[in-house]
Amino acid sequence: MTRRFFTRVVLAVLAGIVFRSDIVLYKRPFPVSFLHFVALGRGIFEIFGTQMALFAGLAPAPARHTGILNATVGCLPWVVLTGSEPLIFKPSQQYAVTSLEGCIIFVAQVLWLGQNAVTAAFIAISLT
């Protein structure tokens, strides 16, 4: 299981290096579709962090905070590779608030509604 995640991380880093040279060196602006992929990745980071915290036995509130921290810090490699300003520092971005909403939706569906974790993850990520 860990080897599969490691392989995906290595492939993502290599793809980021390819995109970095294409975007940063030629100073092209980000297309909106690229930012949609960043938002999707952030949603995956937050749900993964929340689910692992719940799996480790944390209560719902600390699990939500772990998911928010995971989403915020998990997107930092994208910022470093692209050389852009982090979206969390821009004034009109609701970065941590949307992560909180996604984590609350996920925890509510899994713990209180008894829904399957995969289905709850897809719903929370799409709403985030």
Residue 102 neighbours by CB distance under 10 Å: 27
> Using CA of residue 22, residue 26, residue 32, residue 36, what is the dihedral sign?
positive
Tracing tokens 């209180």 back to the chain, one arrives at: 112
**pLDDT for the residue 75:** 73
Nearest to 96 by CA among 75, 123, 78: 75
Residue carrying the six token digits 């480790």? 56
Is the per-residue pLDDT at 23 higher than 60?
no
Given this model, what pLDDT does residue 28 score? Answer: 58
Is the pLDDT at 11 greater than 70? The verdict is yes
What letter does residue 29 receive in the DSSP assignment? Answer: P
pLDDT of amino acid 91:
72
Instruction: Give CA–CA dist 25/82, Å, rounded.
Output: 10
Q: Where are the domains of the chain?
A: 32-127
What's the full length of the chain, in residues? 128
The pLDDT value given to residue 127: 84
Percent of the chain with pLDDT over 70: 77
Model confidence band, residue 9 (pLDDT cutoffs 50, 70, 90): confident
* pLDDT at res. 4: 77
Taking the C-alpha atoms of residue 44 and residue 121, their distance in angstroms, rounded to an integer, is 8
Q: What is the pTM of this model?
A: 0.68
State residue 87's pLDDT score: 67
Q: Which of 123, 88, 87 is nearest to 103 (CA)?
A: 123
pLDDT band at 40 (very low <50, low <70, confident <90, very high): confident
Vertex 2 angle, CA 9 and 105, to 5°: 75
